Amino acid sequence: MRLRSQTSVMALVLASFVAGTAASAADLSIVSGAVGRDIDELRKHLDMFEAETGISVDIVTMPASTTDQFGQYRLWLSAENPDIDVYRVDVIWAPQLSAHFVDLSEHAADVVDDHFPAIIQSQTVDGRLVALPMFTDAPALYYRSDLLEKHGFEPPATWVELTETAKAIQDAERAEGHDRIWGFVWQGAAYEGLTVNALEWVASNGGGQIVEPDGEISINNENAAEIIDLAATWPGNISPPGVLGYREEEARGVWQVGDAVFMRNWPYAYALSQSDDSAVQDLFDITPLPTGPSGDQNAAGLGGWNLAVSEYSPNKEAAIELVKYLASYEIQKDRAIETTRLPTLPALYEDEDVLAAQPVIGEWLPIFQEAVPRPSAPTKANYNQVSQEFWTAVHATLSGNGDAATNLTQLERNLMRIRRAGW
């Protein structure tokens, strides 16, 4: 079953790749994964770019999972594929893919200082700026304000409170006939998204960041084990058993039809949840993710997407122009207003049009500013392996295969083996 669906995903990827290159004579091609309306929004901006510059651009679409995208990007880049000019890349992949991307420092010298310095720094590897920011990302806790009010609850401050509130409202709603409702939906599939969810639990409980900025492997500790064991009580209790296969869009699907009290998700889900065809339109709000019972940090995992120009592009000059266009103030402004994607330009958080159309963007600024990065900088070329070991250990615990203390001890050994002499 699993094998078959993976094969068909790859067949689709291949088909869209072939269609994207052979069937048209566009000047450039950009490869991008997507959730929600990402591709429609990108298409709109590419058409605007073409109208302004005469440069046409095809989109090569990817599966939604960043893990699947990374695998494909790595293959194409090591094969020096000349058919893709621009890659939409996750904030975490810069250190691993940097050798294949053009240094944008000089080309973007006139605009880099307009972006948040930390984001530019995250895309700078050995002094080379390998991608320009498109939007940043930090999740929040979405909650059904109508249901919390109806049942007399405040938004939860801790994960323990969330567990209790979710259960109480779920039970009360089911007793009234809302059979399909669940307390909490999130991303529990074995992929990069689970790494971010679990890092948030651990950091919020004073359990560190898996690997610390100085390279120390810190994950095998009591605070981390305590909160992962708490999360292991959720599937089948306050979360659907299927949550262990959920990524962003599966969680949003349950939430947006009105079948969840709480959801952990990124800002893109906000505009969609507010759309006219959403069952939860005007019935929800957001708040920072809870803190752990033994911690005091509202820890949102830092995400975000950036645009890199391939070293193997035969059309680098036009590709650089495109990247600058998609990262520009006007385009980021439209993206924020239409899709609640968080801008990477501080000035847009004071733009009156943005704040009038999407006041939530202002609320999201402190969440983003305090977000916790994944250890992709300290673990360098090993990040994907480190993350995979982490999500595997967490997924096992959530599935009832061993408790967190046992699985984190084994994880620590595996990470030490990966690190050997140094990251």
Binding residues for ligand GLC (CB under 6 A) = 66, 90-92, 137, 192-193, 196, 248, 266, 303-305
Determine which helix (DSSP H) or strand (DSSP E) holds 87, and give its type and residue range: strand 86-90
Rama region for 242: left / alpha / beta (φ>0; ψ in -120 to 50; rest)? alpha
- Of 83 and 249, CB closest to ligand GLC: 249
Residues 232 and 398 sit within 8 Å (Cβ to Cβ): yes
CB of 294 to ligand GLC, least distance (A): 26
CB of 372 to ligand GLC, least distance (A): 12
CB of 160 to ligand GLC, least distance (A): 25
- Of 194 and 354, CB closest to ligand GLC: 194
CB of 371 to ligand GLC, least distance (A): 10
Determine which helix (DSSP H) or strand (DSSP E) holds 249, and give its type and residue range: helix 248-256
CB of 156 to ligand GLC, least distance (A): 23
CB of 215 to ligand GLC, least distance (A): 21
CB of 47 to ligand GLC, least distance (A): 24
CB of 93 to ligand GLC, least distance (A): 9
Amino acid residing at 181: I
CA nearest to 70, candidates 322, 314, 388 = 388
- Of 159 and 186, CB closest to ligand GLC: 186
Strand partners, 141: 264, 287
- Of 170 and 195, CB closest to ligand GLC: 195
What does the DSSP 8-state code read for residue 211? B
Closest residue to ligand GLC in the complex (CB): 303
- Of 312 and 364, CB closest to ligand GLC: 364
- Of 262 and 305, CB closest to ligand GLC: 305
Residues 112 and 262 sit within 8 Å (Cβ to Cβ): no
Strand partners, 263: 142, 185
Amino acid residing at 95: P
Residues 261 and 144 sit within 8 Å (Cβ to Cβ): yes
- Of 55 and 263, CB closest to ligand GLC: 263
C-alpha dist (Å) from residue 217 to 292, 390, 396, 404:
21, 12, 20, 16
CA 64, chain centre distance (Å)? 10
CB of 413 to ligand GLC, least distance (A): 26
Give the Cβ contact number of residue 96 at 10 Å.
21
Query: Residue written as tokens 């420092």?
Result: 105
| Residue 282 half-sphere exposure toward CB, CA atoms < 13 A | 2
| Residue 238 half-sphere exposure toward CB, CA atoms < 13 A | 24
The alpha carbon dihedral of 91, 376, 35, 277 has a sign of: negative
CB of 149 to ligand GLC, least distance (A): 30
DSSP reduced 3-state for 209: coil
Nearest-angstrom CA–CA distance, 388 and 415:
10
- Of 91 and 238, CB closest to ligand GLC: 91
- Of 139 and 206, CB closest to ligand GLC: 139
**DSSP assignment string, 93-160:** GHHHHGGGB---TTTTTTTGGGS-HHHHHHTEETTEE--EEEEEE--EEEEEHHHHHHHT-PPPSBHH
Nearest-angstrom CA–CA distance, 186 and 206:
21
- Of 197 and 407, CB closest to ligand GLC: 197
- Of 66 and 223, CB closest to ligand GLC: 66
Nearest-angstrom CA–CA distance, 190 and 6:
14
CB of 137 to ligand GLC, least distance (A): 3
> What is the distance in angstroms between the CA of the first residue and the CA of the last residue of the chain?
36
